[in-house]
Chain A
């Protein structure tokens, strides 16, 4: 029976796998390199642990994490193995060369090593717009992580769950590789695994699996089949450059597949963020597919040791040509980075006292040994720099010929390092060591981001609204007396202690998280161009003629530009009802009140998109006042915004540039011009936020 053969093979693979590990251990022992030995033992133990955990755990997240560690461990073992093989080869070659009587080639100069750090990895995704805005339907999720390999060091980032609400995959980790040569190759690999529960590989018997896949829909079946069988789109990934000895036995549980990879080298190192191209493997049919944009953004910084460590230090005598005094100064010199620091005494170095003077050693510096000094028979070293067009030369001398030689050697090595590390030696790049930080609080996503808005609603809406209005009018009066114009500040959810009360109806109740009180005045910058506060008008007749401007009934959203009509608009379109679900925004509730007041006059038109700057309609005012003629007086700032809103709805919301697709009855030209004027004079059209 096929199932038996399958399990038989599995067992054999496991046995061979164990043999592999023993073989690796033996090689390590024979090389008598305890360092690698320890590392390999450690990794093998981790790997066993991860396998056991995978077999035992039931939760999907745990399984994903365990599979990730398994992948990392396997990759590391592969890397160690290839390194071992190389060392074995080198050992053998050494024995061979020792036999030959050649003197051997001269020691080639080796560049110094350095630290390479990669941080802020970000991979943009390219969802189809239909996918991105889909609200219903299952959320296809993938678990992704990155594996970064440089030389023998392999690190993995944290795992991130990606679904179609994310626009980019962001990895916050900073990964530092300590011993990198300038010719390094940093291989970045993105692994992903489908996070659906049905697709656990290997656990479903074949017959049932084929039945399922044929009975499901075409695309779902395809995905299922792809996940079950190791087809062309799910190659057994070994993650390393070393050839596989044997196929890895399939471990039950989620399996990660290579989705994309790229290689970074010295030319990509820069002290700022750069975008690199990704090579994508896999196609749309694979279960682990994610629509990658094709590039990756990250910050790759390098600190060669010649910039951070003291390359050479010792006592010297320095004389500056052309400067005075023309005597030799005894200094303790330290060669580090792009300078030769000369301290008066050796103790000054540790004491962090400023050096007596500093001689620049960079790519423009010229160093040469001068003729032998007739008195001391020791060669001097001349260092010349160009400081803004002038050549400045310092002469160094030491006590003995060996010292001079070692200093020259150090300078040559330094120059060589700088030529090899190229742009990393211009300035020291900052590398932040990853500090242990508290994990950011994770907010559980309930489908669309719209649900994250918390609106505190009250039971009796009409009293609420009148309270709000009364407070609003008081506030505006206060402001107009003070002569400051209210700034339209967005309400902060997170870390701002102060916030400005909105001049519209979005008050502290709406701002959910932030503790601002309606009486707190905003911190308004000196903006002389702002127009003076318009006076309050108790009659809000101007609203009434704009009854059609229901775009102002857009929900109050902290997040601008979200096309999320969802539940609010459904309520608006229906006849005003008493029942209101709790998650409705104040705006929607106000709109229902208004609807009641008008008895459904005019067409209820909801905009497809809420205006970018979140505005609320002063609807309750209109609901309480009778329909009157449109007054041309200066109006309430709130009412003006409605009117401006309505007028600019034909053009856009507050700012004339934004476009609205709302069909509604257009007001007459005279009124429109007036409203345009009000829109332009409206001071709250330029938000400022405190960060």
Chain B
């Protein structure tokens, strides 16, 4: 999912709504993120394009809120509650996900399988 600087990014996204789980004084989502514009994108094992500095899901706690909501490892997070995540630092991304006054995060995520699914569906049934 490479991008051309200055051009809008298009991607097939899936909406995932995660209800945060309260554990004591903390609200957890149950996954880990990696990436960011201040990180080295070459180290990202999940990205196709090794210059992609986006935020990727690196692990999911099984049974946790993210797992229940359908988030998968390797997903690239495009938006969180309307905030863009394609051009943020790692810390900013973490903060956007862990706001204490929000019980629910609505993510837009993209993954390779989504693009392929769309391609297949468009190939099979030509829409009028």
Contact = CB atoms under 8 A, between A and B. Distances in A.
Interface of A: 120, 122, 172, 271-273, 297-299, 430, 432, 435, 437, 440, 490, 492, 494-497, 525, 527, 529, 558-561, 612-613, 654-658, 685-691
A560 B82 contact: no
11 contacts: A272-B82, A437-B103, A495-B25, A495-B98, A497-B26, A529-B43, A686-B44, A688-B34, A689-B34, A691-B31, A691-B98
Interface string B82-99: 110000011111100110
Contact of A525 (B41, B58, B103): B58
Contacts of A656: 40
Given A495-B27, A525-B59, A689-B33, A655 B39 contact: yes
B101 interface: yes
B101 A525 contact: no
Contact of A613 (B39, B41, B83): B39
B90 A529 contact: no
A490 B90 contact: yes
A495 B26 contact: yes
Nearest to B24: A497
A495 B101 CA distance: 12
Nearest to A613: B38
A560 B26 contact: no
A437 B36 contact: no
Contact of A687 (B15, B23, B83, B90): B90
Nearest to A611: B38
Given A272-B15, A273-B79, A561 B39 contact: no
B108 interface: yes
Nearest to A655: B40
A210 B9 CA distance: 54
A297 B36 CA distance: 23
A271 B15 contact: yes
The 7 closest A-B pairs by CB, nearest first: A273-B82, A612-B38, A686-B43, A495-B26, A655-B40, A685-B40, A688-B34
Contacts of A494: 26, 98, 100
A691 B100 contact: no
Contacts of A655: 38-41
Contacts of B94: 490, 492, 689, 691
B67 interface: no
Nearest to B53: A657
Contacts of A688: 32-34, 58-59
Contact of A689 (B40, B90, B101): B90
Q: Which of B39, B41, B100 has the most CB of A within 10 A?
A: B39
Contacts of B103: 435, 437
B72 interface: no
A558 B83 CA distance: 21
Given A273-B81, A686-B40, A687-B36, A612 B98 contact: no
A526 to B, nearest CB: 8
Q: Which of B15, B81, B82, B100 has the most CB of A within 10 A?
A: B82
Nearest to A439: B101
Given A120-B82, A687-B34, 19 more contacts: A172-B101, A271-B15, A273-B81, A299-B82, A492-B94, A495-B27, A495-B28, A496-B26, A525-B58, A558-B91, A559-B91, A561-B38, A613-B38, A687-B39, A688-B32, A688-B58, A688-B59, A690-B31, A691-B29
A272 B106 contact: yes
A561 B104 contact: no
A494 B44 CA distance: 25
Nearest to B93: A689
B70 interface: no
Contacts of B40: 654-657, 685-686
Contact of B32 (A122, A272, A689): A689
